[in-house]
Amino acid sequence: MKTTFVATGDSFITRRIPEHYPGRDVLQELLMKHDVRFNNLEITCHEDAGYPAAFSGGTWAMADPAVLDDLKALGFNLFNTANNHASDFSHGGLLETIRNLKKRGLVYAGTGKNMAEASKAVYLDTAECRVALIGITSDFHDSDLAGEQGPVMAGRPGVNGMRVNRVCHVTEDYLGVLRSLVKETNMNSYEEYGVKLGYVNPAPADTLSMAGMRFCLDERNYIEEKPAKADLERTVLEIQEAGRQADYVMVSIHTHGGSYEDYANPPEFLEVFAKACIDAGADVILGHGPHELRAVEVYKGKPIFYSLGNFIFQTETVDRQPAEAYSNKGLPVTMKVGEYMDRRSDGGKRGYGILPPVWFSVIPSWTMENGTVTQIRLYPVTLGRELPRSRRGFPRLTEDDGILEHLQKLSSIYGTRIEIQDHVGIIRL
């Protein structure tokens, strides 16, 4: 039983994919050689369904539903929809995106009309096997989280979210200052009143609460981040169930978390989550979210792609933005969206456009045979940073070994060896 897989990172797609843009045919040929072809759909696909959410993922993400036809034509047959843009247009936009995916017979995971739907594994049947996908995101506003279905009330549409428990460990000197500050300003009075009324759960006895953060005494200063127990347990149970129903289980995790001073390194909670998923029976972890590459680790013979970077990236060519986008920048709501993007980026002097790692990535390809991965191939991709934004953001395969060398360096801390042969990265297992 042999099955081939290929995966790509974020598709923040806001324009139709031209039929024969330079490099498209070669890219499509690569994708179509595989049985399972995964993509992270980081856009809502509808025509003004719902309302712009008060909190967006950054740019309110909406595209013509026809982009789904383009992605399907390019070859993709499996999608993650759990990410920080899924609820940019509230429940209406999320549910209409789902409707448009179903209308086209596309298999997706990570969102639903309640938590049971959003967190369940979905299945893709290939010629040789059945593959399961679970989609989840650690980046979402509280209002984006799907709600559990109750016995007397419906659940809430939203994303399958993985909350992160963060505790700041500090030395006695710092903890003493924080205690004094809390006492002098009475900043916790609202939280304490909520605890008194029973609406707010009290902080653990060994921690200090301050402005929504938790602090505890330690011998050094650092932040501890762990997946929330309930969300990890829900995922583990779904992996185990998917393992009963499918030959292979894939987990897609969307997360931006980490140190923004060294954004390429994955956060602690992502490492914990990924390894717990493999311990539960997952065969591969597909990370995405930070819009740049992160390391590849092989754990118990299973690959963890901490971030696959961008595949399609077109944030500046959205068709329109809500009033909040303009008011947040002190700009008139009558301004055209192109000018708004110029103002936001200070004429291209700041933002994603000046960050080189945003504009290259890799496409991993691997084969599963009798439950084992024997080799992973990594194809470097460029998104054309040098092009004007009217044409930038579509992927092309490239022979730039510098991309692979960059990933070599990132992955070396996990003991992962990437050979470069004929402009392709190879990981031998």
What's the whole-number average pLDDT of the chain? 95
CA distances from 11 to 81, 200, 213, 311, 312 (A): 10, 38, 33, 5, 4
How much is the pTM? 0.95
User: How far is residue 376's CA from residue 367's CA, in Å, rounded to a whole number?
Assistant: 8
Average pLDDT over residues 123-138: 96
Mean pLDDT check: name the lowest of 29-43, 55-69, 207-221, 363-377.
Answer: 207-221
Helix (H) or strand (E) holding 318: none
CA distances from 241 to 125, 222, 237, 246, 409 (A): 17, 37, 6, 9, 36
Q: Report pLDDT digits (tens) over 70-82.
A: 999 999 999 999 9
Residue 203 clears pLDDT 90, i.e. is over it: no
Residue 58 clears pLDDT 90, i.e. is over it: no
Cβ density class 402-424: b for 16+ within 10 Å, e for less: ebbebbbebbeeeebebebeeeb
User: How far is residue 19's CA from residue 24's CA, in Å, rounded to a whole number?
Assistant: 8
Residue 261 clears pLDDT 80, i.e. is over it: no
Q: Which is it for the CA torsion 269, 107, 101, 29, positive or negative?
A: positive
Q: Specify the pLDDT at position 232.
A: 98
- Nearest CA to 280 among 307, 254, 257, 250? 250
Residue 1 clears pLDDT 80, i.e. is over it: no
DSSP secondary structure string, 9-40?
EEEE--SPPPTT-TTHHHHHHHHHTSSEEEEE
Beta bridge partner(s), residue 217: 170
Q: Which is it for the CA torsion 223, 228, 233, 239, positive or negative?
A: negative
Where helices occur in 198-350 by DSSP H, the ranges are 229-245, 268-280, 323-327, 337-344
Residue 39 clears pLDDT 90, i.e. is over it: yes
Residue 259 clears pLDDT 80, i.e. is over it: no
Q: Report pLDDT digits (tens) over 348-388.
A: 999 999 999 999 999 999 999 988 998 999 999 999 999 99
CA distances from 219 to 204, 206, 379 (A): 19, 15, 45
What ranges make up the beta strands (E) of 336-415? 360-369, 372-382, 396-397
Chain centre distance of CA 36: 19
Instruction: Specify the amino acid at residue 318.
Output: V
Q: Report pLDDT digits (tens) over 287-345.
A: 999 999 999 999 999 999 999 999 999 999 999 999 999 999 999 999 999 999 999 99
Both tokens of residue 34?
A: 């595989």
Q: Specify the pLDDT at position 196.
A: 86
User: How far is residue 136's CA from residue 76's CA, in Å, rounded to a whole number?
Assistant: 19
Residue 122 clears pLDDT 90, i.e. is over it: yes
Both tokens of residue 29?
A: 């040929």
Q: Specify the pLDDT at position 324.
A: 93
Q: Report pLDDT digits (tens) over 163-202.
A: 999 999 999 999 999 989 988 998 888 888 888 888 888 8
User: How far is residue 253's CA from residue 275's CA, in Å, rounded to a whole number?
Assistant: 12
Phi-psi region of 158 (alpha: psi -120 to 50; beta: other; left: phi over 0): left
